[in-house]
Amino acid sequence: MTTSIRIAVDPTDRLAAVPRRLFGTFVEHMGRCVYDGIHEPEHPTADADGFRADVLALVRELGATIVRYPGGNFVSGYRWEDGVGPRAQRPVRLDAAWHSTETNHVGLHEFAAWAVAAGLELMEAVNLGTRGVAEAADLLEYANHPGGTALSERRRRNGRDEPFGIRVWCLGNEMDGPWQIGHKTADEYGRLAAETARLMRFIDPSIELVAAGSSNHEMPTFGAWERTVLARTDGLVDHISVHAYYEETPGDAEGFLASAVGLDRYLREVAAIIDEVGARTPAGEPVGISVDEWNVWNQTRWNEVDKPRVLTGEWPVAPRLIEDDYTVTDAVVVGSLLITLLRHADRVTMANLAQLVNVIAPIRTEPGGPAWRQTTFFPFQLTAAEATGSVVLPRIDAPTTATRHGEAGLVDAVATVEGDRTSVFLVHRGLEDAAVVDLDLGAEVADAAALVVSAPEGGDRRTVNTADSQPVRPLDLRVERTGPTSIRVTLPPVAWARLTARTSA
Ligand code: AHR
């Protein structure tokens, strides 16, 4: 049985410009994201600094725009000074966040150079767990002050003459979480974030600051945390963070496929709190939402398998942590979460797929071996490449189903329009049948093409890409012309697709 869906795009009805920082990513000193991920000096493709060229090529292909660094939970115990200066003199430290040993072979200088090579803007997080105002200000002065002071001259002696010019700074990470090193109450964190922001702005008024919001929507303090933090930091921060991870639970594929409905509610609630508090940026705009960690993450496996293994008393360097193998369904959910982020382009200023390599990542590697694209690589890459110009919210006529996240449409979609190019990003949540989607693009269609990510021929929605075999990749999807402004595509079950069309004005 096939279901018929209608989608109408009015290209003149524009919500907001596409915030290109929506296609951000995240590199944490965790597991094998940095060491044995982007950095592996013994790998045949490694450059003089130890960074893998094959991984760098995949990162460039992914097309992300901004990268959050160096954590995550890691940052709450990190001393940034450990990662600068001659490598041989850098201390080896315990990383209590991930029960690992941190060699400090990669620090600010190496990572900033790698980010430039990868085409990524650097978004730096400061430690507000074990440290505070002074250390955050020192790092900013070290990184961004041109010269003539002890800290800026130290940077220059360490080989970087020009300032790094880092614009976006995160004021700590997930400080509401009891698992966080230096965990704080909303009041304690709000005060600390405000005073840190004040001093950082004195040092460099051009920066943008992100206050830490709740670690997830289910936190018992969600809402109250945002209200307190936003009130305390009013006029001092530009963004507040949202972190959101989703997983498939046994027997609830429908609920998992509706994860974006949960994200949609989360974003609407945070936006409403920003409005209720009247929280403004220094420029007088409403504070933006920085979804600076989002993804599919099998947290049950982390809690039951990885975590007990990590907490055995060993302190390994770069252990294998949360290296989820992503299925087709996971890729479809990632694509649908991107659709929802775009649907909130008027409030969401940034978003970071967490993480980039090996750790819940679109790119995986083996030491001395290959690097490959996980299934989730494709919806991210295809969206980042074509979502430009302005966001348009289409009118969607599709059946809905009740799920654990609320009523979910069988098909969801968002469009972007730039000049004569219209792109429509679509998700089909149905598990069994195909969906015939009739689209009216609101302008004469000159040509159109579509790509789909779904189960490969003969495979199922649980298919994954591995080091040895990568059966999941985007495939051409047939586009039928049904009228001057209208087209039809047939989406297989559990599918994400991108349609691109050239239209006449
Ligand atoms: O991305 C993995 C971890 O998830 C991050 O370190 C932390 O911020 C979040 O809980």
Q: Residue 192 pLDDT more than 80?
A: yes
Nearest CA to ligand 1 atom 6: 72
CA–centroid distance, 189 to ligand 1, in Å, is 18
Q: How close is the Cα of 405 to the center of ligand 1, in Å? A: 22
Identify the residue whose C-alpha is closest to ligand 1 atom 3.
Answer: 72
The reply to whether ligand 1 has any atom less than 6 angstroms from the CB of 180 is no
pLDDT band at 1 (very low <50, low <70, confident <90, very high): low
Active site residue 174: yes
Residue range 412-453, pLDDT digits in tens: 999 999 999 999 999 999 999 999 999 999 999 999 999 999
Rounded to the nearest whole angstrom, what is the distance from the C-alpha of residue 73 to the centroid of ligand 1?
6
Q: What is the pLDDT of residue 458?
A: 75
Nearest-angstrom CA–CA distance, 351 and 144: 23
Q: What separation in Å is there between the alpha carbon of 243 and the centre of ligand 1?
A: 9
Name the pTM for this structure: 0.97
pLDDT at 311 over 80: no
Name the amino acid, one letter, at 296.
V
How confident is residue 310, by pLDDT bands cut at 50, 70 and 90?
A: confident
Give the tens place of pLDDT for each residue, 389-415: 999 999 999 999 999 999 999 999 999
Question: Phi and psi at residue 403, in whole multiples of 5°?
Answer: -135, 175
- CA 286 to centroid of ligand 1, rounded, Å: 26
Nearest residue (by CA) to ligand 1, atom 5, is: 72
Tell me, what's the pLDDT at 355? Answer: 96
pLDDT on residue 121 = 98
Q: Do you find a cis peptide bond into 70, omega within 30 degrees of 0?
A: yes
Q: How confident is the model at residue 359 (pLDDT cuts 50, 70, 90)?
A: very high
- Residue-averaged pLDDT of the chain: 96
Exposed, middle or buried: residue 221 (CB in 10 Å: 0-12, 13-18, 19+)? middle
Which residues lie closer than 8 Å to 57 by C-beta, 6 or more apart? none
Which of 40, 81, 293, 386 is the catalytic position?
293
Q: For 118-169, give the secondary structure using H, E and C.
A: HCCEEEEEECCCCCCHHHHHHHHHHHHCCCCCHHHHHHHHCCCCCCCCCCEE
Nearest residue (by CA) to ligand 1, atom 4, is: 72
> Would you say the CB of residue 352 lies under 6 angstroms from ligand 1?
no
Atom of ligand 1 nearest to the CA of 174: 8
444 is catalytic: no
Residue in 75, 243, 291 to alter for ligand 1 test, most ligand atoms within 8 A of Cβ: 243
Q: Is 73 in the pocket of ligand 1 (CB under 6 A)?
A: yes
Q: How far is the CA of 83 from the centre of ligand 1 (A)?
A: 21
Pocket probe for ligand 1: among 68, 73, 360, the residue whose CB has the most ligand atoms within 8 Å is 73
- Per-residue pLDDT, averaged over 321-349, amounts to 98
- The stretch 374-394 carries a mean pLDDT of 98
Question: Following CA atoms 377, 380, 382, 385 in sequence, which dihedral angle do they give, to the nearest 10 degrees?
Answer: -120
Q: Ligand 1: which atom is nearest the Cα of residue 98?
A: 6
Mean of pLDDT values over 293-317: 86
Closest alpha carbon to 501 in 416, 411, 433, 375: 416
Mean pLDDT for 368-374 is: 98
pLDDT in tens, 464-502: 999 999 999 999 999 999 999 999 999 999 999 999 999
Domains of the chain, start order: 2-11+390-503 (2.60.40.1180), 21-386 (3.20.20.80)
3-state secondary structure (DSSP) of residue 240: strand
Distance from Cα 174 to the centre of ligand 1, integer Å: 8
Is residue 267 predicted with pLDDT exceeding 90?
A: yes
- The catalytically annotated residue of 81, 135, 174, 248 is 174
Mean pLDDT of 194-203: 98
Give the pLDDT confidence score for residue 411 in this predicted structure. 98
DSSP states along 350-385: EEEEE-SBSSS-SEEE-TTS-EEE-TTHHHHHHHHH
Q: Which residue has the tokens 């200066």?
A: 85
Closest ligand 1 atom to 354 CA: 1
Q: Is 72 in the pocket of ligand 1 (CB under 6 A)?
A: yes
Percent of the chain predicted with pLDDT > 70: 99
- Give mean pLDDT, residues 134-155: 98
pLDDT of res. 416 = 98
| Arithmetic mean of pLDDT, 63-68 | 98
At 235-258, the pLDDT tens digits run 999 999 999 999 999 999 999 999
pLDDT of residue 307: 80
Helix (H) or strand (E) holding 414: strand 411-418
Nearest CA to ligand 1 atom 8: 72
**Residue 87 clears pLDDT 90, i.e. is over it:** yes
Which pLDDT score is estimated for 505? 61
Does residue 300 register a pLDDT over 70? yes
What's the rounded mean pLDDT across residues 157-183? 98
Between helix 186-203 and helix 224-232 the angle, nearest 10°, is 30
